[in-house]
Amino acid sequence: MTPLDSTDPLLQEQFVPSASSVLRARILNHTGLLFGLVVVGLLVLVALFAPFIAPHDPYAQDLTMRMKPPVFMGGTMEHLLGTDHLGRDYLSRLIYGARVSLLIGFIAAVISGVIGTALGVAAGYFGGRVDAVVTFLINVRLAMPVVLVALAVVAILGGSLQVVIGVLGLLLWDRFAVVMRSSTQQVRRREYVAAAQAIGASTPRVILSEIMPNIVNNLIVIVTLEMAHAILLEAALSFLGLGVQPPTPSWGLMVAEGKNMMLFEPWLVLIPGAVLFVLVLAINLMGDGLRDVTAPDNRN
């Protein structure tokens, strides 16, 4: 006597929704996550297709067209968001600036993700001395003031895109290490890990095929949050004059360049800052949303 509903595929689908449909429903019900995904998606497209979207060359100067206001402040359609102090089209510089921000944020997050995950998983899996050494390294890293060290290193090595990415990548791994360490500690105690070890699976195999798949959700969340962190830091470094160098269009640099004319042309500062704020907000909402959706019981 088997109950009907466990054999009837139709009923089963109705009462036990598949994992992917649950996930889809959760994503669609999560306003923050949807907002984040849409905004980040749009900005990634803008960055990828910058040469096709930008109305002007972001580097082309025209000193006869300096500091024209945006169209909603009495400007012309020729320069939708006006021009900067060198007569460069502001919208085009914003569009190319998305490339700089996203590129730096993404690569820096990947570099620090690799470092932090390796350290964190090793600490969580092996425990003991390995854990003590990694915990020590995390403490050392946390004690170093990020902005100060990043500024100093960029000043010494020169402010190129590669240097900024490298410095941020080498500095931002602490949260990865902390989270991956505790996630690994939790997963390591599960029966399936013991089972894999019992049937003689090698350590790399246990880590790659038993541990990693179960902590990858947390990893993705930290990647997004640290990407936002890296983008903000790049903007701050460039704003202070020790990040990406002119004439590269970086949003932080645009704010710095507009700063002196802020009194008469506040939009020079408001526009790039607002775009930066929206991008970082969207990435953060995406990260928070992904955490809610993939691990609803981890919310505080």
CB 147 to other proteins: min, Å: 5
| C-beta of residue 234 within 8 angstroms of C-beta of residue 188 | no
d(CA 94, CA 101): 10
Decide: is 195 part of the binding site for other proteins (CB under 8 A): no
Distance CA 122, CA 96 (A): 39
Least Å distance, CB 34 to other proteins, is: 15
- x-marked contacts with other proteins along 201-240 as a string, rule CB under 8 A: ---------------------------x---x--xx--xx
Cβ distance to other proteins smaller for residue 63 or 129: 129
Output 212 or 240, the one with its CB closest to other proteins.
240
Pattern 27-66, binding to other proteins, x per CB under 8 A? -----x----------------------------------
> Counting contacts by CB under 8 A, is residue 168 touching other proteins?
no
Hey, which residues between 265 and 284 contact other proteins (CB under 8 A)? 266, 269-270, 273, 276-277, 280-281, 284
Q: Where in 90-149 is the site for other proteins (CB under 8 A)?
A: 136, 139-140, 142-149
Binding of other proteins at residue 300 (CB under 8 A)?
yes
34: left (phi over 0), alpha (psi -120 to 50) or beta: alpha
User: CB–CB of 227/109 below 8 Å?
Assistant: yes
Positions that interact with other proteins (CB under 8 A): 32, 136, 139-140, 142-149, 151-153, 155-157, 228, 232, 235-236, 239-242, 252, 255, 259, 262-263, 266, 269-270, 273, 276-277, 280-281, 284-285, 288, 300
